[in-house]
Amino acid sequence: MPKRESIKPYFKQLKPSYGFDEVAIVPGSVTINPDQINIDLQIGDVKLTIPIIASAMDAVTDVNFAVLLSKLGGMAVLHLEGVHTRYENPADVLNELANTPNDKVTALMQKIYTAPIKDKLVGDRVRAIKKAGAFCAAAAVPANTKHLAPLVQEAGGDVMVVQATTITARHISKSVRGLVFSELTRKLKIPVVVGSCASYAATLELMENGVAGILVGVGPGAACTTREVTGVGVPQITATIDCAAARDVYFKQTGRYVPIITDGGFKKGADLCKAMAAGADGAMFGSIFAQAKEAPGKGYHWGMSTPNPALPRGTRIKVGTKASLEKLLFGPTSVTDGTENFIGALKTAMGFCGAADIKEFHNAELVVAPSITTEGKFWQLTTGRA
């Protein structure tokens, strides 16, 4: 009987992957005063004095919120497929969504978001933001980008965001030709930011297609259920490190620096600091800003995929109303849990590490630290803060 050839089995390998609560930043050997630190974020020709962007969600960004955040140094992204571009008076729709019981709200959203997007309203909303002297970014899913992006550019928009649950430079379909980013970035005169990404390879290929920024994060948002529904996602620290590595390789190859913007999963100042130390150039906030007094969601928050007609991958959550947008960003604050004064937290952490700007902060050492939020915190965990 012939001897059977030995076949070596292949085993799928799992690499460790970390989220915000599992790592810590190691302080540096030099410190610097927080008031000497530069935290600018550059996206194409747009320069923000704080590296914070508001997400393209109806409960977060409307015209007024976009204007206010821009005046404070950041930028908000208008959801071009949301209620603000479907209805002349979106406030009435938002009021209805805020007053509908949980067991009926997803069905209501599915109905509300079937109203057609009006080209005129797209232009009107962008022009209203620009008329107030603010930066204007606007977002669409890939399928609608070819139609909506020229409207944003014509109305004076500053940045076009192409956003999906997960996005790549190549999309395979038998029925339609996918969005070609190399063509889009050549045709538009404004920078194109894309997301969401969570891997080195996808990030590098998108950069090679001319995009001006990458949003990092698949499924970490407070109102997103993609990870529960599909099992797809990468914890934010690991995703940020991997995508930032692609940015650095691309920069060395081409001399063009493409910022990485970590999108989702933030709860407190420490999370923002860790994302930046992991390699992010900026951060996108959703649920944090939905808690602002000026947010259009009236204390509620929901994601872009919540009203999907066939498979909703989000849920409406009640976040409450915490403070003004300015207080959330800059304080002053009397709370001790890191949920206000995010900019103060970032500058303080950078000072601890001797980082004069965000690129220097990328050199900070991170350690795996699963007990970082519990070590020595017995009294806080058992009795709460005074």
The set of catalytic residues is 224
Cβ partners under 8 Å of residue 317, min gap 6: 222, 223, 287, 300, 301, 302
67, 132 Cβ separation under 8 angstroms: yes
Chain centroid to Cα 370, Å, comes to 24
CA 328 – CA 292 distance, rounded (Å): 7
Query: Hey, which bits of 237-304 come out as E strands?
Result: 260-263, 282-285, 300-301
Residue 376 half-sphere exposure toward CB, CA atoms < 13 A: 1
Q: Assign 341 to helix, strand or coil.
A: coil
Q: Name the nearest CA neighbour of 137 among 69, 187, 66.
A: 66
Among left, alpha and beta (phi > 0; psi -120 to 50; other), residue 321 is beta
Q: Assign 43 to helix, strand or coil.
A: strand
Q: Tell me the C-alpha to C-alpha distance, in Å, between residue 181 and each of 158, 167, 335.
A: 18, 11, 44
CA 148 – CA 221 distance, rounded (Å): 25
CA 257 – CA 252 distance, rounded (Å): 9
CA 86 – CA 112 distance, rounded (Å): 9
CA 116 – CA 139 distance, rounded (Å): 16
Beta bridge partners of 38: 357
How many contiguous H segments (helices) and E segments (strands) does the chain have? 16, 14
Q: Name the nearest CA neighbour of 278 among 302, 262, 259, 299.
A: 262
